[in-house]
């Protein structure tokens, strides 16, 4: 029988994620890859402008250190679906 930690590790490997040290959350790094695909140059600056945040926070979202809040995800969705 696996311990709780071993179970979380197995789940993280299964979904190709990693376990964050703070709180044992499973975090994937897909957000940064998608954002870099959408805005290949100055990605953090674009995210910071869209989210009304600073560039340092956007860099941490891209690195996978923190998950972007839902409001930011919604703002990004609105931004990429705008018709010009």
Name the residue among 75, 65, 9 with its Cα closest to residue 32: 65
- SS3 sequence, 4-53? HHHHHHHHHHHCCCEECCCCCCEECCHHHHHHHHHCCCCHHHHHHHHHCC
- Residue 58: count other Cβ atoms within 10 Å of its Cβ: 22
Question: Tens digit of pLDDT for each residue in 29-45?
Answer: 688 888 888 888 999 99
- Kindly state the average pLDDT of the residues 36-55: 90
What is the pTM (predicted TM-score) of this model? Answer: 0.61
**What residue spans define the domains of the chain?**
4-80
């Amino acid at each position: 029988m696996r311990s709780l930690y071993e179970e979380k590790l197995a789940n993280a490997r299964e979904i190709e994620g990693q376990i964050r040290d703070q709180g044992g959350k499973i975090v994937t790094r897909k957000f940064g890859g998608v954002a870099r695909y959408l805005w290949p140059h100055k990605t953090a600056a674009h995210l910071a402008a869209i989210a009304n945040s600073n560039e340092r926070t956007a860099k941490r979202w891209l690195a996978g250190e923190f998950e972007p809040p839902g409001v930011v995800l919604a703002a990004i969705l609105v931004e990429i679906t705008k018709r010009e």
